[in-house]
Amino acid sequence: AQGVDQGSSPTPRVEPNGPTHPVFIALAETVRRHGGGGGEHQSGGAGPPTNTPFDRLIQAFELDQTLHHYQTWDQLVHYCTLSADPVGRIVLALAGYADTPENAQLYAMSDATCTALQLTNHWQDVRRDLLEKDRIYVPSADTGVTPEVLKDWATRTNDPEARIPYIKMMRELVIRTNKLYEKGKPLASKLDRGIGPVVWLFGAGGRSVLRAIERGGCTTLWKRPTLTPSVKAWLLARAWITTRLH
């Protein structure tokens, strides 16, 4: 954490007088070359952009230190724009797809996919996050399920009065998350064969986990769903075949 704190404003350290932290010395050339997958430039347009994905990842780290319980869907999605979307934007930039108006659709699909992946992880790990980390990503104000209620339900594994409302709530969250996957689904087919299959694999893997949540009855508060080895093998095989046929 200390290293992150020292670089908590990474891009400015890269900008006017050169980077001062070893991590950002290494990142400086990447930021300059690819524009970091988005961000606003300093006045005059000189230098690498500010508020790049690297900045947002640092902001997500800082948010993790102070915010453990989320109230609304919009608040949670905003967190995903800081913690997940930048990763996809960096991947696109490194693959040669600059953040330009011509590629705006690609970036929008990437953002939707990355947000969906992050949300899927949250729904999969509700119990672990709650009991081991005291983190609650279920938006309490939107769902009407407070942290206290969620903790109480977690102790009532076979109680219909806990299971039925939780399942109903989780199904709604799964539906909203699946809509994001649908928005991002065309992305892989629009990328070249060097990166398209990899992007497809991430998206398909996330959707498979979301389907596993549904097949498990949306009972993630009591049992964490996982992908079977056969599903993982199928996903890898499909991605490999795609690289040969793309």
Residues 175 and 111 in one domain: yes
Instruction: Check which CATH number belongs to the domain holding 107 and give it.
Output: 1.10.600.10
The contacts of residue 49 (CB under 8 Å, 6+ apart) are 11, 31, 35, 36, 38, 39, 40, 41
Choose one of 66, 84, 116: the last residue of a domain: 66
> What is the mean pLDDT of the segment spanning 11-23?
47
pLDDT of residue 34: 53
Residues 101 and 134 in one domain: yes
CA distance 150 to 70: 13
Domain range holding 100?
68-245
Number of domains in the chain: 2
CA distance 173 to 156: 21
Residues 54 and 76 in one domain: no
Residues 94 and 56 in one domain: no
The contacts of residue 101 (CB under 8 Å, 6+ apart) are none
Give residue 4's pLDDT band: very low, low, confident or very high (50, 70, 90): very low
- Residue 43 in this model has a pLDDT that exceeds 90: no
Q: Are 46 and 57 in contact (CB under 8 A)?
A: no
Tally Cβ neighbours within 10 Å of residue 52: 28
- Residue 12 in this model has a pLDDT that exceeds 50: no
pLDDT of residue 35: 52
pTM recorded for the entire structure? 0.81
**Whose CA is closest to 5, among 41, 73, 59?**
59
Residues 201 and 91 in one domain: yes
Residues 159 and 80 in one domain: yes
Residues 60 and 88 in one domain: no
Residues 122 and 18 in one domain: no
Residues 51 and 103 in one domain: no
pLDDT of residue 90: 95
CA distance 166 to 218: 8
Residues 59 and 134 in one domain: no
* DSSP tag of 36: G
Choose one of 15, 42, 66: the last residue of a domain: 66
- Residue 190 in this model has a pLDDT that exceeds 70: yes
CA distance 191 to 164: 42
Residues 22 and 102 in one domain: no
Tally Cβ neighbours within 10 Å of residue 150: 21
* DSSP tag of 49: P
Task: Please report, as a single letter, which amino acid is at residue 157.
Answer: T
Residues 136 and 209 in one domain: yes
Q: Are 169 and 138 in contact (CB under 8 A)?
A: yes
CA distance 114 to 176: 14
Choose one of 23, 44, 66: the last residue of a domain: 66
Kindly report the average pLDDT of the chain as a whole number.
84
Task: Please report, as a single letter, which amino acid is at residue 200.
Answer: W
